C-alpha cells in the first residue's frame, strides 16, 4: 500500500520560500507515475501546483510557474516543493499526491494527509 | 486552461435520496474526467475515473456518466458517510483543473 507523507515548516514569512517534502513509502518513486503537489486554501477548492517524474521532468501550473520548483530525490524516495516569494494568498493545506499516467488512465490515486502552511510575519 | 464548473455548489439531501451533481468543461475533454470525495480535514479520495469507472473499493451506489463537456456524478441512495464535498477534475491536459466543489449536506 503506497503512502505519502508531507513534512516541512508550518509557518513561512511573507516574501520567503515555502519548502515541503513528500516521503513515499510502499512503492518506488522510480516508476511510471508522476508525483504531484495540490493545495487548498482554507475553505476553498483544490489547485494543482505541478508534478515531477522520476527522470526529473516537470509540469507546472502556469499561474505559479515563475515561483515553483518541484524536484525528485530518488535515493530517499521523496520529492519536494519550493515556492518562492510567498504572500498570504499562498496560505493553504498542501497535499502531495500520486498521478497515475498511462494506459489511457489519468488520475490522482494516492494522497498524503496534507499539511497546513501559513504565510504570516 | 480548461475551466471546470460544477452545479450546484451545495445541496441538502436526506439519507436514502438520489443525488446528482453535474460538471461542465469549457471544452471537450472526451471522457477524461475524474470525481473525488473530500471529508473535512481529510485528503480527497478518488471515486470515479475516466468519467464512469468506479475506483476499487468504492460502493456501487456511486456512478458517473457523460462525455465531451457534460458529466454527472450520481449517488443512488445517499448514506450518512456520503455527506462530504465532491470535486470533478479534468485529466485531458495540463494544467490539471478541478471544479469548485459541491458540498452535500444533511437535510
Chain segment B39-91, per-residue pLDDT in tens: 999 999 999 999 999 999 999 999 999 999 999 999 999 999 999 999 999 99
Confidence band for A112, pLDDT divided at 50, 70 and 90: very high
pLDDT for residue B107:
87
CB B103 within 8 A of CB B87: no
> At CB < 8 Å, which residues of chain B contact A?
1, 32, 34, 36, 42-46, 49-50, 55, 87, 89, 91, 94-101
Coil/strand/helix, residue B9: coil
Q: What percent of chain A has pLDDT over 70?
A: 100
The distance from CA A10 to its chain's CA centroid, rounded to whole angstroms, is 14
The CA-based angle B93-B98-B102, given to 5 degrees, is 150
The CA-atom distances, in angstroms, between A42 and each of A94, A115, B61, B72, B73 are 11, 12, 30, 26, 25
A3 forms bridges with which residues in the sheet?
A25
Q: Look at A101 and A77; give whichever has higher pLDDT.
A: A77
Nearest by CB: B43 against A61, A95, A106:
A95
- Measured CA to CA in angstroms, residue A29 lies from A97, B12, B91 at distances of 12, 41, 21
Comparing CB atoms, the residue among B32, B43, B55 nearest residue A106 is B32
- The continuous run of DSSP H or E covering B85 comes out as strand B85-90
pLDDT at A105 over 90: no
Q: What share of chain B is helix, strand, coil (3-state, %, to 5)?
A: 5, 50, 50
> What pLDDT, on the 0 to 100 scale, is given for residue A32?
86
Q: What is the DSSP letter of B82?
A: G
* Cell (9 digits) for A103: 494506459
Q: Is A107 on the interface with B (CB under 8 A)?
A: yes
**Share above pLDDT 70 across residues of chain B, in percent, rounded to a whole number:** 100
Mean pLDDT over B24-32 rounds to 97
Q: Does A45 touch chain B (CB under 8 A)?
A: yes
Handedness of CA A104, A110, A112, A118 (dihedral sign): positive
Whether residue A103 has pLDDT greater than 90? no
Amino acid at each position: 500500500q503506497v503512502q505519502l507523507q508531507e513534512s516541512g515548516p508550518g509557518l513561512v514569512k511573507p516574501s520567503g520560500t515555502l519548502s515541503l517534502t513528500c516521503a513515499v513509502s510502499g512503492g518506488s518513486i522510480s516508476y511510471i507515475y508522476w508525483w504531484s503537489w495540490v493545495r487548498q486554501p482554507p475553505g476553498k477548492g483544490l489547485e494543482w501546483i505541478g508534478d515531477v517524474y522520476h527522470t526529473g521532468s516537470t509540469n507546472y501550473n502556469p499561474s505559479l510557474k515563475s515561483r515553483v520548483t518541484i524536484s525528485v530525490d530518488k535515493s530517499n524516495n521523496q520529492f519536494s516543493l519550493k515556492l518562492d516569494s510567498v504572500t498570504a494568498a499562498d496560505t493553504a493545506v498542501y497535499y502531495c499526491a500520486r498521478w497515475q499516467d498511462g494506459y489511457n488512465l489519468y488520475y490522482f490515486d494516492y494522497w498524503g494527509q496534507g499539511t497546513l502552511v501559513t504565510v504570516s510575519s | 486552461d480548461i475551466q471546470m464548473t460544477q452545479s450546484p455548489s451545495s445541496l441538502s439531501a436526506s439519507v436514502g435520496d438520489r443525488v446528482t451533481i453535474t460538471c461542465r468543461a469549457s471544452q471537450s475533454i472526451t471522457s477524461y474526467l475524474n470525481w473525488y470525495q473530500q471529508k473535512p480535514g481529510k485528503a480527497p479520495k478518488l471515486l470515479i475515473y475516466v468519467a464512469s469507472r468506479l475506483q476499487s473499493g468504492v460502493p456501487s451506489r456511486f456512478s458517473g456518466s457523460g462525455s465531451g463537456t457534460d458529466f454527472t456524478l450520481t449517488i443512488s441512495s445517499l448514506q450518512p458517510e456520503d455527506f462530504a464535498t465532491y470535486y470533478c477534475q479534468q485529466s485531458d491536459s495540463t494544467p490539471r483543473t478541478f471544479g469548485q466543489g459541491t458540498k452535500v449536506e444533511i437535510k
